[in-house]
């Protein structure tokens, strides 16, 4: 998702209107200078402002978006030693800087070189300033605040895994990179386009050259990338080595793009990722490794955006895969798009019919962010690669300008019913399942497993209930589990083990592939997490 510059999704005039709609003074400026020792640079210049005097700043939080003010400006060919004046009332969130109350703040600038900040925060190659305190600052009074871009971000140091060094070393030997150039995706984009990831082989793979294994295709949630999913591969390798999981081959797929996550869905905007995976990548990888190479030995697993990706792959390619175990998937029924009914007359993603805001992030009973904050924050950080824009790159038809048509107006929140109609016909998984049950039902029955918390952080349990009702209606034998009071981020945890549920998922998959094997964990395993 990340390494190349991307055209903006929305005209500047639309974004400017976010600020113009506010009754606040205009033309408050911050001056940003590129250090003379740097090379010429281009990108989206972001200025962050937080109250207080802590002296450091991390990436802007989407979970409390209005806690940090941000302003943005596109810059092209900024020369070493040159400065640019940024109008922090022109394109700002949550409001123009001139409307802020007097007080003490800390300011910080980031030049988002790869236009990837909206997806995952600072990235290697971005250029940052030091955090500058603005003590007893009154907007518009005194000297223009000045920031100097003088630090190039490097790849972050990986967090240490909670494993002994010898366990990590053994798991790394079982893990290898995979890189496949897709003819279909290359033809679509006009440049070499890759499917990348990591493959983990089980203990004994080398010692038993005639043995074939079931295979799990796993993909990640929003914000992850190829480098950040490698620790998951290491953890799964270590769990198999410890006997917590049955011997299977695991493929950890990167689904990140500059536009967000492509979800391995065939899309008018991102390209034929589903076709590339099923018709090209899988035959290629099965020719290289000793896999079962049949539906009863091909499984899907993923969380969040990866949960939706694996769910749609099972629904759309039921003859390829023998089952999905999708956890906390993005909305599978657009009657409940994180509570919002996109099909309702005069639907609006910012406001309920009574005018109250639609929430989008919660911590159990506490609302942390609204859909309006999400949508407008993304428009300032960069209307490409954010979570909301990512849905449009996957689901929307293409506009005359070559970009996906927006599902809703970023200023008002009004839903475009024509765009939603396209979403319904092509990506509403509950609808697709019911509409195609006559031809797909035989291959889907009993193969859809879904797990979600009743306190899911993004209200994703509602759509799961709707999808389950559709599967029950058509006789789909669904296997849905609602973990009581669990959120998006502690769903797998049990007794302090953050991946405990993965063991039971793997055991269930193995029982499908090897029904006569009766594999059990040597210690009997923890109490059942999932319903049988």
Q: What is the pLDDT of residues 220-244, one digit of tens each?
A: 999 999 999 999 999 999 999 999 9
Bridge-based pairing state of the strands 249-253 and 215-219: parallel
- Paired tokens of 35: 């250090």
Distance CA 25, CA 44 (A): 24
pLDDT (tens digit, 9 = 90+) per residue, 434-491?
999 999 999 999 999 999 999 999 999 999 999 999 999 999 999 999 999 999 999 9
Looking at residue 14, what is its pLDDT?
A: 37
Distance CA 459, CA 461 (A): 6
Distance CA 20, CA 24 (A): 8
Residue 153: phi and psi, rounded to 5, are -65, 140
Rounded to an integer, the average pLDDT of 125-153 is 94
Quickly count helices (H) and strands (E) in the chain: 15, 23
Looking at residue 59, what is its pLDDT?
A: 59
How far does CA 48 lie from the centroid of its chain?
23
pLDDT (tens digit, 9 = 90+) per residue, 245-295?
999 999 999 999 999 999 999 999 999 999 999 999 999 999 999 999 999
Residue 5 clears pLDDT 90, i.e. is over it: no
Residue 26 clears pLDDT 60, i.e. is over it: no
Q: How many CB atoms lie within 10 A of CB 441?
A: 16
By three-state DSSP, how is residue 33 classified?
strand
Residue 349 clears pLDDT 90, i.e. is over it: yes
pLDDT (tens digit, 9 = 90+) per residue, 188-217?
999 999 999 999 999 999 999 999 999 999
- Tokens 């976010």 sit on residue: 18
CATH classification number, 12-152, choose in 1.10.1740, 2.60.40, 2.40.128, 3.90.1280: 2.60.40
CB 252 within 8 A of CB 229: yes
Looking at residue 58, what is its pLDDT?
A: 59
CB 194 within 8 A of CB 179: yes
Distance CA 45, CA 22 (A): 22
DSSP assignment of 408-423: B-TTT-BB-HHHHHHH
By three-state DSSP, how is residue 430 classified?
helix
Looking at residue 232, what is its pLDDT?
A: 96
Reported as a pLDDT band with limits 50, 70 and 90, residue 346 is very high
Q: How far is residue 359 from each of residues 50, 215, 351, 369, 463, measured CA to CA in Å?
A: 23, 38, 9, 6, 15
Please enumerate in sequence order all residues whose Cβ is within 8 A of that of 293, keeping only pairs 6 or more positions apart, or say none. Answer: 212, 286
Q: How far is residue 508 from each of residues 283, 422, 514, measured CA to CA in Å?
A: 25, 36, 10
Classify 293 in phi/psi space as left (phi over 0), alpha (psi -120 to 50) or beta. left
CB 157 within 8 A of CB 150: no
Q: List the domain boundaries for the chain.
A: 12-152, 190-333+446-513
Q: Which of 490, 443, 450 is nearest to 466 (CA)?
A: 450
Q: What is the mean pLDDT of the chain?
A: 92
Residue 67 clears pLDDT 60, i.e. is over it: yes
- Tokens 């209606």 sit on residue: 473
Residue 19 clears pLDDT 50, i.e. is over it: no
- Tokens 């209005």 sit on residue: 66
Please enumerate in sequence order all residues whose Cβ is within 8 A of that of 524, keeping only pairs 6 or more positions apart, or say none. Answer: none
Residue 133 clears pLDDT 80, i.e. is over it: yes
- Paired tokens of 458: 């993004």
Looking at residue 12, what is its pLDDT?
A: 36
pLDDT (tens digit, 9 = 90+) per residue, 488-502?
999 999 999 999 999
CB 349 within 8 A of CB 378: no
Q: How far is residue 31 from each of residues 99, 108, 191, measured CA to CA in Å?
A: 18, 11, 38
Distance CA 29, CA 84 (A): 10
Q: Output DSSP code: residue 297.
A: G
Distance CA 255, CA 232 (A): 15
Residue 4 clears pLDDT 80, i.e. is over it: no
Distance CA 352, CA 372 (A): 11
Residue 1 clears pLDDT 50, i.e. is over it: no
Q: Output DSSP code: residue 266.
A: E
Q: Which of 243, 242, 246 is nearest to 214 (CA)?
A: 246
- Paired tokens of 255: 């689904």
Under CATH, what is the fold of the domain 190-333+446-513? Rossmann fold (3.40.50)
Looking at residue 520, what is its pLDDT?
A: 77
Q: Output DSSP code: residue 340.
A: B
Rounded to an integer, the average pLDDT of 105-133 is 94
| pTM greater than the 0.85 cutoff | yes
Looking at residue 61, what is its pLDDT?
A: 67
Cα separation of the two ends of the chain? 37
Residue 356: phi and psi, rounded to 5, are -80, 150
**CA dihedral in degrees (468, 471, 476, 481; nearest 10)?**
0
Query: What percent of the chain shows pLDDT beyond 70?
Result: 92
Looking at residue 526, what is its pLDDT?
A: 64
Reported as a pLDDT band with limits 50, 70 and 90, residue 321 is very high
Looking at residue 60, what is its pLDDT?
A: 61
């Amino acid at each position: 998702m990340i390494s190349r510059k991307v055209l903006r999704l929305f005209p500047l005039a639309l974004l400017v209107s976010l600020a113009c709609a506010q009754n606040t003074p205009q033309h408050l400026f911050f001056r940003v200078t590129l250090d003379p020792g740097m090379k010429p640079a281009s990108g989206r210049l972001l200025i962050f402002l937080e109250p207080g005097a802590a002296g450091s700043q991390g990436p802007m939080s989407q979970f409390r978006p209005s806690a940090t003010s941000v302003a943005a400006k596109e810059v092209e060919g900024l020369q070493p030693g040159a400065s640019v004046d940024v109008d922090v009332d022109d394109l700002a969130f949550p409001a123009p800087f001139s409307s802020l109350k007097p007080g003490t703040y800390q300011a910080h600038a980031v030049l988002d070189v790869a236009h990837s900040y909206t997806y995952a925060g600072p990235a290697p190659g971005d250029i940052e300033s030091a955090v500058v305190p603005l003590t007893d600052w009154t907007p518009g009074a005194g000297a223009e605040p000045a920031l100097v871009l003088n630090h190039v971000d490097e790849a972050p140091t990986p967090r240490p895994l909670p494993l002994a060094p010898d366990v990590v070393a053994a798991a790394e030997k079982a893990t290898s990179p995979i890189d496949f150039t897709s003819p279909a995706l290359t033809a679509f984009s006009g440049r070499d386009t890759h499917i990348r990831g990591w493959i983990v082989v089980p203990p004994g793979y080398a010692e038993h050259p005639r043995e074939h294994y079931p295979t799990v295709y796993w993909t990640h949630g929003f914000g992850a990338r190829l480098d950040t999913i490698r620790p998951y591969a290491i953890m799964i390798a270590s769990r198999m080595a410890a006997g917590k999981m049955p011997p299977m081959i695991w493929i950890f797929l990167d689904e990140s793009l500059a536009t967000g996550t492509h979800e391995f869905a065939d899309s008018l905007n991102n390209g034929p990722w589903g076709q590339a995976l099923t018709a090209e990548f899988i035959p290629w990888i099965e020719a290289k490794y000793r896999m079962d190479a049949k539906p009863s030995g091909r499984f899907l697993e993923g969380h969040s955006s990866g949960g939706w990706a694996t769910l749609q792959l099972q629904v759309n390619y039921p003859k390829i895969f023998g089952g999905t175990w999708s956890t906390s998937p993005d909305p599978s029924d657009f009657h409940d798009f994180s509570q919002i009914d996109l099909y309702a007359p005069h639907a609006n993603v910012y406001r309920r019919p009574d005018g109250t805001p639609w929430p989008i992030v919660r911590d159990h009973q506490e609302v942390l962010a609204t859909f309006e904050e999400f949508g407008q924050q993304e428009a300032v950080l960069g209307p490409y690669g954010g979570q909301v824009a990512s849905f449009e790159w996957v689901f929307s038809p293409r506009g005359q300008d070559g970009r996906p048509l927006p599902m809703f107006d970023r200023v008002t929140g009004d839903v475009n019913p024509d765009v939603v109609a396209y979403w319904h016909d092509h990506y509403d998984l509950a609808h697709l399942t019911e509409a195609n049950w006559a031809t797909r039902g035989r291959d889907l029955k009993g193969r859809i497993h879904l797990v979600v918390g009743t306190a899911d952080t993004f209200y994703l349990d509602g759509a799961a209930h709707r999808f389950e009702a559709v599967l029950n209606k058509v006789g789909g034998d669904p296997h849905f589990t609602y973990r009581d009071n669990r959120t998006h981020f502690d769903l797998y945890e049990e007794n302090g083990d953050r991946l405990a549920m993965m063991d039971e998922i793997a055991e269930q998959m193995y029982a499908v592939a090897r029904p006569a094997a009766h594999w059990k964990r040597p210690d009997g395993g923890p109490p059942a997490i999932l319903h049988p």
